Structure 1
Amino acid sequence: MEDGPPKNLVARVAPDAADHGTTVTSSDLAELIRTAGPDDPFFTVLGLQVHKWDAEPADTDWTGRTDPSTLARRNVICERLGLDAAGAEALLQKRPVFVDETILITAPWNRWYKPDVATAHEFYWPRYRDYLLEVRGWPAANVSALDIATTSVVERLSDPTRRAAYQAKGLVVGYVQSGKTANFTGVIAKAIDCGYRLVIVLTGTIEMLRAQTQRRIDMEMVGRQNIVGDLSPEQAQKAQLDYQDDPAWIGGQFLDLGTGPIASEIHRLTTHGQDYRTQFKNLKIDRFAMGKPLFDRANLFSAAARLVITKKNSAVLQKLVADLQANKGAFAEIPVLIIDDESDQASVNTVDPAKVEAAKASGRQVKERRAINERIAEMLELMPRAQYVGYTATPFANVFVDPSDEQGIYPKDFVIGLQRPPGYMGVDDFHDLGPDPVPATFDTSNRAAFVRDLAAAEDDVTARDAELRRALEVFVLTGACKLYRSSLSRHLTFRHHTMLVHESVGTAEQRDLAELVKRLWRRAAFESPKGLERLRTLYEADILPVSRARIEDGVPKLPHFDTLRPWITKVIGKITEHDNNPVVVVNSDREIEQQQLDFDRNSTWRVLVGGAKLSRGFTVEGLTVTYFRRAVTMSDSLTQMGRWFGFRYGYRDLVRLYIDRNAKFGRKRVDLYAAFEAIARDEAAFREQLAQYAEWDGDRPRLLPSQIPPLVTQHLPWLKPTSRNKMFNAAIEEQGAQVFSPVGYSNALNELHDNLNLWRPVFANCATDVTFPAGGQSDLRARVGVVDAADLLHVVEQQGWMYLYAERSVKPVLTFLRNLVQRPQSPLKDFLLVMPQPGDKAVDLTDVGTVRVINRDRRTRGGEDLPKFGEITDPKHRTFVQPLLLAEKPTGHPLAEYWSPSRGVVLSYLIREQSPSYRRGSEPTTKVGPDELGLIVGFSVYLPHGATAGDSVLRFRVIQGSDPSVVSVDAR
Structure 2
Amino acid sequence: MSLTVITEERNIANALISGLANLPETPTREQVEDKARQIASIFGYTGDLRNIVTEAMISIDTRMGAGVSLVDVTAKHDDQWVHKREDVAWTYAESYGNFLLKEGWPPQMVQSLSDVTTRILGHLQDPLSEGTTWNRRGLVIGHVQSGKTANYTGLIARAADAGYKFIVVIAGIHNNLRKQTQQRIDEAFIGRSSDPVDGRKKIGVGLGHGYPHPATLTNVNSDFNKKTATESGWELNDFSKPIILVIKKNVSTLTALHRWLRELNTAGDGQIRDVPMLLIDDEADNASINTNKDDIDPTKTNARIREILSLFAKSCYVGYTATPFANIFINPDAYDPDVRDDLFPRDFIYCLDAPTTYFGAEKVFLDDETSQSIVKPIDDCEDFIPYNHKRDDAVHELPPSLYRALDEFVIARAIRNLRGQTGSHCSMMVNVSRFVPVQKAVRDFLSLREKKIREAVLANYAMQEEVSSRNTYMQGLKRAFDAEYADAGLTWAEVKAALSGVFEHLHLYVINSKSDEVLDYARYAKEGVGLTAVAVGGLSLSRGLTIEGLTVSYMYRNTKMYDTLMQMGRWFGYRPGFEDLCRVHLSRDSINWYSHIADAAEELVQQVKRMRRDRLSPKDFGLYVRSHPDSLLITAANKMRSGQEVTVEQSFSGRLRESYIVSTDPDVNARNLALIGDHWRSGFGGRPEESTEKGVIFRDVPVEVIDDFLTRFECHSTFAGQKSDVVSYLERIATKRPLADVLLISPSGGSGGEHPFTLRNQVRVVGKDQPNGTSWRLNKDRVASRGDEKLGLSDAQRNEARTLAGGEDGLGAVSDAHYRMVRNKPLLMIHSLEPKGEAVTGPIAAFGVSFPYGDYSTTINVVVNKVWLQQMQGYADDPDDEDDYDA
TM-score range, shorter chain: 0.5 to 0.7
Instruction: Tell me which amino acid in the other structure corresponds to 1:645.
Output: F
Q: In 2, are the aligned partners of 1:477 and 1:568 still within 8 Å (CA)? A: yes
1:500 alignment partner, SS class: strand
Instruction: Tell me which amino acid in the other structure corresponds to 1:339.
Output: I
Q: Distance in 2 between matches of 1:257 and 1:460?
A: 52
Partner of 1:39: 15
Q: In 1, are the aligned partners of 2:330 and 2:635 still within 8 Å (CA)? A: no
For residue 532 of structure 1, the aligned residue among 465, 474, 477 is 474
> Quick check: 1:650 aligned with 2:570?
no
Task: Report the alpha carbon displacement of residue 457 of structure 1 after superposing the two structures with TM.
Answer: 6.3
Q: 1:373 to 1:563 in 2, by over 3 A?
A: same
Task: Report the alpha carbon displacement of residue 423 of structure 1 after superposing the two structures with TM.
Answer: 1.7
TM-score with structure 1 length normalisation? Answer: 0.57
Q: In 2, are the aligned partners of 1:709 and 1:957 still within 8 Å (CA)? A: no
Q: 1:431 to 1:220 in 2, by over 3 A?
A: same
Q: Distance in 1 between matches of 2:544 and 2:599?
A: 22
Task: Report the alpha carbon displacement of residue 641 of structure 1 after superposing the two structures with TM.
Answer: 0.3
Q: 1:45 to 1:303 in 2, by over 3 A?
A: farther
Partner of 2:224: 276
Q: In 1, are the aligned partners of 2:70 and 2:617 still within 8 Å (CA)? A: yes
Deviations 1:717-763 (Å, cap 9, x if unpaired)?
899256644999974223976789xxxxxxxxxxxxxxxxxxxxxxx
Q: 1:813 to 1:118 in 2, by over 3 A?
A: farther
Partner of 1:303: 240
Superposed counterparts of 1:141-290, under 5 Å: 141-164=108-131, 165-224=133-192, 241=196, 243-244=198-199, 254-260=204-210, 262-263=211-212, 265-278=213-226, 279-280=229-230, 282=232, 284-285=234-235
Deviations 1:914-938 (Å, cap 9, x if unpaired)?
xxxxxxxxxxxxxxxxxxxxxxxxx
Task: Report the alpha carbon displacement of residue 679 of structure 1 after superposing the two structures with TM.
Answer: 1.1
Superposed counterparts of 1:266-415, under 5 Å: 266-278=214-226, 279-280=229-230, 282=232, 284-285=234-235, 303-326=240-263, 327-329=265-267, 331-346=272-287, 370-396=299-325, 397-400=327-330, 405=338, 408-415=342-349
2:400 alignment partner, SS class: helix
Q: Distance in 2 between matches of 1:714 and 1:534?
A: 50
Q: Distance in 2 between matches of 1:130 and 1:903?
A: 52
What is the total number of aligned residue pairs between the two structures? 625
Instruction: Tell me which amino acid in the other structure corresponds to 1:642.
Output: G
Which deviates the most, 407-416 or 725-734? 725-734
Task: Report the alpha carbon displacement of residue 242 of structure 1 after superposing the two structures with TM.
Answer: 5.3
Deviations 1:450-475 (Å, cap 9, x if unpaired)?
12222226337999632122111111
Task: Report the alpha carbon displacement of residue 393 of structure 1 after superposing the two structures with TM.
Answer: 0.2
Q: In 2, are the aligned partners of 1:503 and 1:628 still within 8 Å (CA)? A: yes
Q: Distance in 2 between matches of 1:732 and 1:902?
A: 20
Q: Distance in 2 between matches of 1:521 and 1:903?
A: 51
> Quick check: 1:467 aligned with 2:467?
no
Which 5+ residue runs of structure 1 have no aligned equivalent? 1-35, 49-93, 229-239, 289-301, 352-367, 437-444, 487-491, 548-557, 576-581, 662-670, 697-701, 741-772, 775-785, 798-806, 830-874, 879-885, 888-900, 905-943, 960-972
> Quick check: 1:518 aligned with 2:447?
yes
Larger radius of gyration: 1
1:420 alignment partner, SS class: coil
Q: 1:542 to 1:142 in 2, by over 3 A?
A: same
Which deviates the most, 475-484 or 525-534? 525-534
> Quick check: 1:416 aligned with 2:350?
yes
Q: 1:589 to 1:706 in 2, by over 3 A?
A: closer
Q: Distance in 1 between matches of 2:541 and 2:280?
A: 22
Which deviates the most, 504-513 or 718-727? 718-727
Deviations 1:205-230 (Å, cap 9, x if unpaired)?
00100000000110122113xx58xx
Superposed counterparts of 1:688-707, under 5 Å: 688-695=606-613, 702-707=615-620
Task: Report the alpha carbon displacement of residue 660 of structure 1 after superposing the two structures with TM.
Answer: 1.9
> Quick check: 1:631 aligned with 2:558?
yes
For residue 593 of structure 2, the aligned residue among 670, 675, 697 is 675
Task: Report the alpha carbon displacement of residue 818 of structure 1 after superposing the two structures with TM.
Answer: 4.7
Q: 1:608 to 1:340 in 2, by over 3 A?
A: same
Instruction: Tell me which amino acid in the other structure corresponds to 1:948.
Output: G
Q: Distance in 2 between matches of 1:739 and 1:683?
A: 20
Bigger helix share: 2
For residue 848 of structure 2, the aligned residue among 944, 948, 958 is 948
> Quick check: 1:496 aligned with 2:425?
yes
Q: Distance in 1 between matches of 2:422 and 2:603?
A: 37
Q: 1:482 to 1:616 in 2, by over 3 A?
A: same
Q: Distance in 2 between matches of 1:131 and 1:242?
A: 23
Deviations 1:804-859 (Å, cap 9, x if unpaired)?
xxx99987761245558946444499xxxxxxxxxxxxxxxxxxxxxxxxxxxxxx
Task: Report the alpha carbon displacement of residue 584 of structure 1 after superposing the two structures with TM.
Answer: 1.0
Q: Distance in 1 between matches of 2:232 and 2:727?
A: 57
Q: Distance in 2 between matches of 1:495 and 1:374?
A: 42
Q: Distance in 1 between matches of 2:145 and 2:605?
A: 17
Task: Report the alpha carbon displacement of residue 253 of structure 1 after superposing the two structures with TM.
Answer: 5.5
Q: Distance in 2 between matches of 1:256 and 1:645?
A: 30
Deviations 1:235-276 (Å, cap 9, x if unpaired)?
xxxxx835349xxx7xx863334343x45x411111110000
Q: Which has the higher contact order (CA 8 A, sep 6+)?
A: 2
Q: In 1, are the aligned partners of 2:627 and 2:650 still within 8 Å (CA)? A: no
1:446 alignment partner, SS class: helix
Q: 1:244 to 1:726 in 2, by over 3 A?
A: farther
1:532 alignment partner, SS class: helix
Task: Report the alpha carbon displacement of residue 631 of structure 1 after superposing the two structures with TM.
Answer: 1.7
Q: Distance in 1 between matches of 2:272 and 2:289?
A: 24
Q: Distance in 2 between matches of 1:626 and 1:309?
A: 29
Q: Distance in 2 between matches of 1:482 and 1:98?
A: 25
Partner of 1:105: 70
Q: 1:721 to 1:209 in 2, by over 3 A?
A: same
Instruction: Tell me which amino acid in the other structure corresponds to 1:130.
Output: N
1:584 alignment partner, SS class: strand
Q: In 2, are the aligned partners of 1:507 and 1:588 still within 8 Å (CA)? A: no
Deviations 1:121-162 (Å, cap 9, x if unpaired)?
32111011000001x100011111111110111111111112
Superposed counterparts of 1:728-877, under 5 Å: 731-734=649-652, 790=704, 814-816=728-730, 818-819=732-733, 822=737, 824-827=739-742
Q: 1:723 to 1:274 in 2, by over 3 A?
A: farther
Partner of 2:391: none
Superposed counterparts of 1:451-600, under 5 Å: 451-456=375-380, 458-459=382-383, 465-486=399-420, 492=421, 494-524=423-453, 526-527=456-457, 528=460, 529=468, 530=471, 531-545=473-487, 547=488, 558-575=489-506, 582-589=507-514, 595-600=517-522
TM-score with structure 2 length normalisation? Answer: 0.62
Q: Distance in 2 between matches of 1:383 and 1:811?
A: 47
Superposed counterparts of 1:423-438, under 5 Å: 423-433=357-367
Q: In 2, are the aligned partners of 1:106 and 1:705 still within 8 Å (CA)? A: yes
Instruction: Tell me which amino acid in the other structure corresponds to 2:354.
Output: R
Q: In 2, are the aligned partners of 1:496 and 1:622 still within 8 Å (CA)? A: yes
Q: Distance in 2 between matches of 1:956 and 1:504?
A: 39
Q: 1:473 to 1:342 in 2, by over 3 A?
A: same
Which 5+ residue runs of structure 2 have no aligned equivalent? 1-11, 25-58, 386-395, 461-467, 525-529, 641-645, 661-666, 669-683, 686-701, 712-720, 745-772, 776-782, 785-826, 831-843, 860-887
Which deviates the most, 271-280 or 521-530? 521-530
Superposed counterparts of 1:714-733, under 5 Å: 720-721=633-634, 724-725=637-638, 731-733=649-651
CA RMSD of aligned residues (A): 4.8
